[in-house]
Structures are given as structure tokens and as C-alpha cells.
Amino acid sequence: MVNDMLNQILSWLYYIPIAFVAAMVLMWLGFQIKARLVPPDLPAGQLSPKQPLKENLPPVVRAYLTENFGDPAVTPATAVLWGRGKFAIRRYPVIGLLWAPLRWTLIIRPGYEFIWRINLSWYRFSFLIGGDELIKGQARFLMGKEERKSENLNLSQTTMLWLYSLLAAPSAVAADDRLEWQILEDRRVRMRTPFPGERTWDFNLAFDSSSGDLVHIETSRTTSRTGLAEPFQVRFSNYLQFAENIALPGKMQAAWGDEFYIKLDVEGVQYDADIESEMERGV
């Protein structure tokens, strides 16, 4: 009888690693399925008039905008972008960095305020909903039941405001009288923006030598927990024509230092939508 019990225990122990591997494979497979795409349904607003590009723009910026937005340029007062992507959630032994599929919506008044909503999924079932906002200079982070507000977060999200603005409506950014431009070497330009506390913030923009597209942005971003400014970068690629004189990056990825934590596909754009009710609702 003792031998029978030992044999039964050993058989159970044999199946434990198999069950563990099977569970890991099932978990991993659930994160390989793209999230459902749910485009927002916002009412159209009044179309903004096209604006001639400013004379003081650096040549690479002017060429980029002329190619993608025309001159006079499509210069929206608001922009709504949406799509899918993936978010790095954890690093595991063997399988490495695990990415969760997501869908996202960006609602933005370029250079002034934004809402970014995110929905993470597994086997297309939502398991975490939240996002960020910066409205009237006040930032809020919401993810599941966790909510954060702080002065550090205000600074962090102001950096994201300008990065999202360059993604969604670079022609509106270039039309902003508050900005300063400085020409650097190798098709690079420094963009200086207003920042809380009567300060300014620098963004180094790099343009591709063959296409002329904006492909890389380097800056620093305040961490919401420590208040320290850390190196931060964004990469744009796969430019798509969404409408006449509206070409935007089809892909964006962002990283603290060299650690990329989010990759987004832009799958839809709406300019000059009426976003007032969304701004009141928030993230």
C-alpha cells in the first residue's frame, strides 16, 4: 500500500511541471491576441482654417509639414486619435518581457490639454482600464482602482502633452507662438516649449535624411513618484495618409532611457471634433 501511495504521489509530481508549462503557454497566448478596436464616436466641430506656415520655422520642420500637411497647412484646434498596441507589464524567466495588448484613444487640444484612455486585454477580455489626463494644467492618473494626482504628475504629463501634440497635430504645434526653435546638426532641431513654473522644456527632434519625416524625439520627463527628470524618448515610424494633406506616424513607441514600455499603432484620426463633453468627463 505504501508503494502504491508513493507511486501516486510521484505521478502527481510528474504532472505538476507539465501543468505549469501549459498554464504559462495559455497565459502567453492570451496576450498575443490583439485588443478589440473601438473607434470613438464624437460629434464634428467647426473646421479650423488652414494657416500659412511660419517664416521662422527651421527648414527641416517646414519641409516636413509641407509634405504632410500642405502650405497653407491643415491646423486643427482639436484632434482625436485611436488605435491598438501593447504595453510591457512584466519580465518573466524564459519568455522575457510580457506585453499586454491594448486599445487606446487620445483626445487632445494640441499644446494645451489632453485625455489618454487605455484598455488592456487578455484573450480580448478587458482586465485593466484607465489612462492619463492633463486638463487646465492639472494632471490625473487612473488605472483600475489606483488614482494619482500630484505636482510631479503635472510636470510629467506636460511633457507627454507636447509629445502627443507632435504625434497628433504637428502643424498646430508649429503654429504656436509660444515655441522657440533652434537648428542643431544632422537634421536635428531643438523645440523649446512653455512649462509649469514659468520654465521652458526642450525637445530634440530628429528627421529622416531620405523621407524627411520626424522619426525620433529626445527629452527628459519628470517621474511622478520622485520628481526627478529622467531621459525619455519617442520614436515615430510607418507614416500613413489618413486624409488629404494629413499624414501622421502609423506607429509610436516610448521609452524611459532605452527601456521601451509602450508601442502604439495609430488606426484612426478625427480633426476638429467637439471634445467639450469629453474634457468634462475626463479619463
Each residue's pLDDT tens digit, 174-186: 999 999 999 999 8
Q: Which pLDDT belongs to residue 242?
A: 93
pLDDT over threshold 80, residue 142? yes
Lowest mean pLDDT among 9-18, 22-31, 106-115, 229-238: 9-18
pLDDT of residue 90: 82
CA distances for 255 relative to 1, 90, 93, 233, 258, angstroms: 60, 15, 22, 5, 6
- How sure is the predictor about 25, in pLDDT bands with cuts at 50, 70 and 90? low
2: confidence class by pLDDT, cuts 50, 70, 90: low
User: Residue 30 region, left (φ>0) first, then alpha (ψ -120 to 50), else beta?
Assistant: alpha
Average pLDDT, the chain: 91
Q: Are 219 and 147 in contact (CB under 8 A)?
A: no
Sorted by where each starts, the structural domains of the chain and their CATH numbers stand as 31-281 (2.50.20)
pLDDT of residue 92: 75
271 and 73 Cβ atoms separated by less than 8 Å:
no
* Rounded average pLDDT over 115-125: 93
Residue 43 contacts residue 270 (beta carbons within 8 Å): no
Residue 277: pLDDT above 80? yes
Mean pLDDT lowest for which of 22-31, 70-79, 157-166? 22-31
Please say whether the dihedral angle defined by the alpha carbons of residues 185, 263, 69 and 133, taken in this order, is positive or negative.
negative
| The pLDDT value given to residue 32 | 77
Closest CA to 249 of 206, 215, 203, 219: 215
pLDDT for res 197: 87
Q: How far apart are CA 10 and CA 225, in angstroms?
A: 49
Q: Which residue has the higher pLDDT, 226 or 108?
A: 108
Predicted structure pTM score: 0.91
pLDDT at 22 over 80: no
User: Mean of the pLDDT values across residues 200-211?
Assistant: 97
Q: What is the pLDDT of residue 19?
A: 58
Q: Which pLDDT does position 93 carry in this prediction?
A: 73
